[in-house]
Amino acid sequence: MLVLDMMNKDVKTIEPDNTVQEAAAKMSKHSIGSLIVIKNGSLQGIVTERDIMTKLVSKALDSSKTMVSQIMTKAVVMISPGRDVEDAAEVMVERGIKKLPVLKGDKLIGIVTSMDIVIAQPKMMEQMAALFLMPKGKKAVAG
């Protein structure tokens, strides 16, 4: 199965000059854990619940005054739609991430998450379990 066949095409995005409070409200409204950060149609980063917790809340910053650009993860790991879902799962495990934006050329066309893979590919459940049960010494990378 290809990433294209299982990705979510309804990607929720935000601009880097929006506040973290706006980002959190949008995540809450859509019951999601991340937003892709886009400026002028170009992917700039990703902001996750973890980014908010570790870069804003833990430092007692004001979410209504802090911009998404100040806390987002800029080094985003991406995947192309023609790659196999097993490749996506492998990338997630290797990089310690749970979300992969899907790009065709420079255009964002979808997102695939670890839960999408688990639901679509029950046989890969064991492989993805490694991501959720990652040893504490291994540092996860947002994305």
Q: What is the H or E stretch that residue 14 is in?
A: strand 13-14
For residue 123, pLDDT over 80 is answered with no
Q: Residues near 74 by Cβ (< 8 Å), separated by ≥ 6?
A: 44, 45
Q: 0.85 cut: is pTM over it? A: no
Residue 19 contacts by C-beta under 8 Å, 6 or more apart in sequence? 63, 64, 65, 66, 67, 68
pLDDT digits (tens, 9 = 90+) for 15-63: 999 999 999 999 999 999 999 999 998 999 999 999 999 999 999 999 9
